[in-house]
A and B are shown apart, each in its own frame.
Chain A
């Protein structure tokens, strides 16, 4: 190494890490220079987060070495990494929800006296806020903050510790386009101060916008590191997936039929007794996908829980196929043909300790065809049905008697789709259906939803990924703090900018010319 070239800020060499049954990182090299934004690009499961968890000391690598400014360092715990100047903003922010912002900043600080010096911590937090233009009330409890604000707390935490190397793991996936812009402003400021930033994303436009160099990972291996000047959206996608990617999915126009699901003035409370869904109304018709856009945590999940009959509502009405169902047990909703694909596959949608047959039976076991002598489960019929469904939805599995936890993420989702969609439900509530899946599984999920629409179901698609909403929806509703911001009748006419503003709390009416009465929105012309 010649003396004139300074050692890179971070140099990772030959990193290896495997988990149960799977190699997450194999022989990965990565360099980060001062004053650089270096992007790690890859599909879900490509090993980006694992690599960064190794750099931040949370995981210990099976093999390989890490050099900070030319000096080899071994990180046994996150403390070692923090003292080497590494600050990571995790995808799940690593904040204690029941503590205040300043307490979260103070957590784990080594230079604090035994008795906490609250005022000096808050003063320093305010300094950082001024300098980088990121504002949050230091006295607020974290659970009271929006996701975007929580992210700012996580960034403040790393800056407070004078992080020289900032790692941001999928920071934009939870932000509105406007918030993303502000975040990029902060990142540029940090770059200007000659720190290094590692940015993780799979959104190609953003990557090209913010990066200096890009390293692409695929299936735990490094594909290439290229400067941003040599990168195009298409070439990045191809390197990421390993084959040419078609960005468009074929979507035919359909004529929506009658209303199958109607929600009127729904009021729903969340876990802490706070109103999460506030006077929300919508109508879902046959043969349409209604996209519900919004930053996650704005009441979408509570809304869908309510629409599926799982969560009690305080007020309002839910009508499925002309029958009022509010206050009825959720089994009645199932009987009327309401299917629900919840966001939390492992925690809610499936019982991973039970086998595949039992997971198919989970929401069907009470049906006549699966019951014998009134009180008994007809396991033979369930096994037969499971066999068909697994085939039809191509769920790769080791055997129907094996516990579902042995399936990969994509196959778990397929299993859930099989159970929820196979009987052509009237209403499909799909929450973040492609979250955490790789490109091919994502494509499968999206195509399946479109197919289900064409078969006559009304689909409510909840996603915080605007791209997904825009490419699948026939109409787009936007939710903010539990309130309906408006329904855009023609997705082609909607700009990301406008949807972003609506997700941040601007109602649709404010975009309309003054002479249009509020609540009235232009109806899309069907050619």
Chain B
């Protein structure tokens, strides 16, 4: 147990940025828009959150800034994919390129600086539960917020009126429009909120995980988050499982490296990516057998009302 508890706790911690990003992407994709720009959004979030925290000393300002920055960049993606009806894959790549470039261009003066950032706040009673306590309740506030977010989103998506609209617009935007709601507005809204959450995930990296800024520091986590959305079949609760699984793989890799084995580092660093492919493969095989429900029916398909046919 003594060996596993720290690894599990580390899995939660390193899974949290991925969790935020996948929750955001679940909202976006549920509305029918695919945002492949998570990597860029996370980097912008990590950078902007760090900068604001560094200059104000308050990490909460950093989180809010990251959220707003994420919303602003996703607005561009929303405009291109919803209003223009452009190719969402290419637009997502553009977001990633822009975010990667802009964050490293802007962040070059921040390299090497450190911040206190978020510190661990064990929850008084719960953290004393054996195993569960240290694994889940000895973290920083952003981790706890992510727990709450998962519960909220499950309730929101499946049991509320706006959640019903969200599910409908991703499936058949025409129907949503005919029922007097605006498919365009809904898609804009959830693309922006989703992008904001991804950006917060990035901010977690720089504010709570490493407490410093580095170029390209998310190292593909944005893409892994997209894979997790597929793994989670667009369900927030399953995204938790996926994110911690990947966090676990990452944590293991660091652990093995730190233990000073003769295993070469680059090979260990491949693990999360290979693991992602394997997980996607398993999911797709299952899907092929008709075990799982498909993706939102109109995912990635632009919608315009006055089209005939």
Residue ranges of A at the interface with B (Cβ–Cβ < 8 Å): 19, 56-59, 77-83, 88, 90, 94-99, 103, 106-109, 112-116, 272-273, 346
Contacts A/B (CB < 8 Å), 20 sampled: A19-B306, A56-B178, A59-B305, A78-B179, A79-B181, A81-B180, A82-B180, A90-B178, A95-B175, A96-B167, A96-B168, A97-B171, A99-B164, A106-B164, A107-B175, A107-B176, A108-B165, A108-B179, A114-B161, A273-B290
Q: B305 to chain A: which residues have CB within 8 Å?
A: 58-59
Known: A58-B305, A94-B175. A106 touches B161 (CB 8 A): yes
B182 within 8 A of A: yes
Q: B179 to chain A: which residues have CB within 8 Å?
A: 78, 82, 94, 107-108
Within 8 A of A (CB), among B273-294: 289-290, 293
Given A57-B180, A99-B168, 12 other A-B residues pairs in contact with their CB atoms under 8 A: A19-B306, A59-B306, A78-B177, A82-B180, A94-B175, A96-B172, A97-B171, A98-B171, A107-B165, A107-B168, A116-B161, A116-B164
Q: B109 to chain A: which residues have CB within 8 Å?
A: none
Judge whether A103 and B297 touch: CB under 8 Å: no
When C-beta atoms are compared, the residue in chain B nearest to A272 turns out to be: B290
When C-beta atoms are compared, the residue in chain B nearest to A115 turns out to be: B160
Within 8 A of A (CB), among B80-117: none
Query: With A and B bound together, what is the CA distance between A82 and B180 in angstroms?
Result: 7
Known: A88-B178, A98-B293, A108-B179. A103 touches B164 (CB 8 A): yes
Query: With A and B bound together, what is the CA distance between A362 and B135 in angstroms?
Result: 60
Instruction: Give chain A's interface secondary structure class.
Output: loop
Judge whether A346 and B161 touch: CB under 8 Å: no
B3 within 8 A of A: no
When C-beta atoms are compared, the residue in chain A nearest to B309 turns out to be: A346
Judge whether B293 and A107 touch: CB under 8 Å: no
Query: With A and B bound together, what is the CA distance between A480 and B112 in angstroms?
Result: 72
Which of A58, A83, A114 sits near B177, CB closer than 8 Å? A58
Known: A97-B171, A97-B297. A115 touches B178 (CB 8 A): no
A59, A83, A96, A99: residue with the most chain B Cβ atoms closer than 10 Å? A96
A349 to chain B, nearest CB (A): 15
B220 within 8 A of A: no
Judge whether A114 and B171 touch: CB under 8 Å: no
A50 to chain B, nearest CB (A): 8
Known: A94-B175, A106-B164. A78 touches B293 (CB 8 A): no
Q: Which 3 pairs from chain A and chain B are nearest by CB?
A: A79-B180, A273-B290, A108-B179
B17 to chain A, nearest CB (A): 30
When C-beta atoms are compared, the residue in chain B nearest to A436 turns out to be: B309
Q: B171 to chain A: which residues have CB within 8 Å?
A: 96-99
B241 within 8 A of A: no
Q: B159 to chain A: which residues have CB within 8 Å?
A: 115-116
Which of A77, A88, A96 sits near B182, CB closer than 8 Å? A77
Q: A94 to chain B: which residues have CB within 8 Å?
A: 172, 174-175, 178-179
Annotate B139-180 by CB proximity to A: 1 below 8 A, 0 otherwise.
000000000000000000001111011011001101111111
Known: A58-B305, A103-B164, A108-B165. A96 touches B177 (CB 8 A): no
Query: With A and B bound together, what is the CA distance between A57 and B297 in angstroms?
Result: 24
Query: With A and B bound together, what is the CA distance between A18 and B183 in angstroms?
Result: 23
A200 to chain B, nearest CB (A): 16
Q: B167 to chain A: which residues have CB within 8 Å?
A: 96, 98-99
Q: B293 to chain A: which residues have CB within 8 Å?
A: 98
When C-beta atoms are compared, the residue in chain A nearest to B161 turns out to be: A112
A91 to chain B, nearest CB (A): 12
When C-beta atoms are compared, the residue in chain A nearest to B175 turns out to be: A94
Query: With A and B bound together, what is the CA distance between A77 and B185 in angstroms?
Result: 13
Query: With A and B bound together, what is the CA distance between A88 and B309 in angstroms?
Result: 17
Query: With A and B bound together, what is the CA distance between A113 and B293 in angstroms?
Result: 28
Query: With A and B bound together, what is the CA distance between A45 and B162 in angstroms?
Result: 37
When C-beta atoms are compared, the residue in chain A nearest to B162 turns out to be: A114
Query: With A and B bound together, what is the CA distance between A224 and B217 in angstroms?
Result: 71
A335 to chain B, nearest CB (A): 29
Known: A97-B297, A99-B167. A113 touches B182 (CB 8 A): no
Q: A114 to chain B: which residues have CB within 8 Å?
A: 160-162
Query: With A and B bound together, what is the CA distance between A408 and B78 in angstroms?
Result: 33
Q: A81 to chain B: which residues have CB within 8 Å?
A: 180
Q: B309 to chain A: which residues have CB within 8 Å?
A: 346
Q: A96 to chain B: which residues have CB within 8 Å?
A: 167-168, 171-172, 175
Judge whether A77 and B180 touch: CB under 8 Å: yes
When C-beta atoms are compared, the residue in chain A nearest to B181 turns out to be: A108
A248 to chain B, nearest CB (A): 32
Judge whether B180 and A108 touch: CB under 8 Å: yes
Q: B174 to chain A: which residues have CB within 8 Å?
A: 94
B167, B175, B293, B297: residue with the most chain A Cβ atoms closer than 10 Å? B175
Q: B297 to chain A: which residues have CB within 8 Å?
A: 97-98
When C-beta atoms are compared, the residue in chain B nearest to A57 turns out to be: B180
When C-beta atoms are compared, the residue in chain A nearest to B178 turns out to be: A94
B89 to chain A, nearest CB (A): 18
B176 to chain A, nearest CB (A): 7
A141 to chain B, nearest CB (A): 10
Q: A77 to chain B: which residues have CB within 8 Å?
A: 177, 180, 182
Judge whether B161 and A78 touch: CB under 8 Å: no
Query: With A and B bound together, what is the CA distance between A109 and B176 in angstroms?
Result: 11
B288 to chain A, nearest CB (A): 10
A314 to chain B, nearest CB (A): 13
Query: With A and B bound together, what is the CA distance between A18 and B47 in angstroms?
Result: 50
B26 to chain A, nearest CB (A): 15
Q: B175 to chain A: which residues have CB within 8 Å?
A: 94-96, 107
When C-beta atoms are compared, the residue in chain A nearest to B290 turns out to be: A273
Query: With A and B bound together, what is the CA distance between A117 and B189 in angstroms?
Result: 24
Query: With A and B bound together, what is the CA distance between A88 and B174 in angstroms?
Result: 13
B171 to chain A, nearest CB (A): 5
Judge whether A107 and B177 touch: CB under 8 Å: no
Q: B306 to chain A: which residues have CB within 8 Å?
A: 19, 59
Q: A107 to chain B: which residues have CB within 8 Å?
A: 164-165, 168, 175-176, 179, 181
Judge whether A19 and B308 touch: CB under 8 Å: yes
Query: With A and B bound together, what is the CA distance between A99 and B175 in angstroms?
Result: 12
Query: With A and B bound together, what is the CA distance between A80 and B293 in angstroms?
Result: 35
A500 to chain B, nearest CB (A): 30
Query: With A and B bound together, what is the CA distance between A340 and B167 in angstroms?
Result: 36
A97 to chain B, nearest CB (A): 7
When C-beta atoms are compared, the residue in chain A nearest to B179 turns out to be: A108
Q: A109 to chain B: which residues have CB within 8 Å?
A: 161
Query: With A and B bound together, what is the CA distance between A279 and B244 in angstroms?
Result: 47
Judge whether B182 and A115 touch: CB under 8 Å: no
Q: A58 to chain B: which residues have CB within 8 Å?
A: 177-178, 305
Query: With A and B bound together, what is the CA distance between A112 and B171 in angstroms?
Result: 21
Query: With A and B bound together, what is the CA distance between A108 and B305 in angstroms?
Result: 17
Which of B164, B172, B177, B181 sits near A97, CB closer than 8 Å? B172
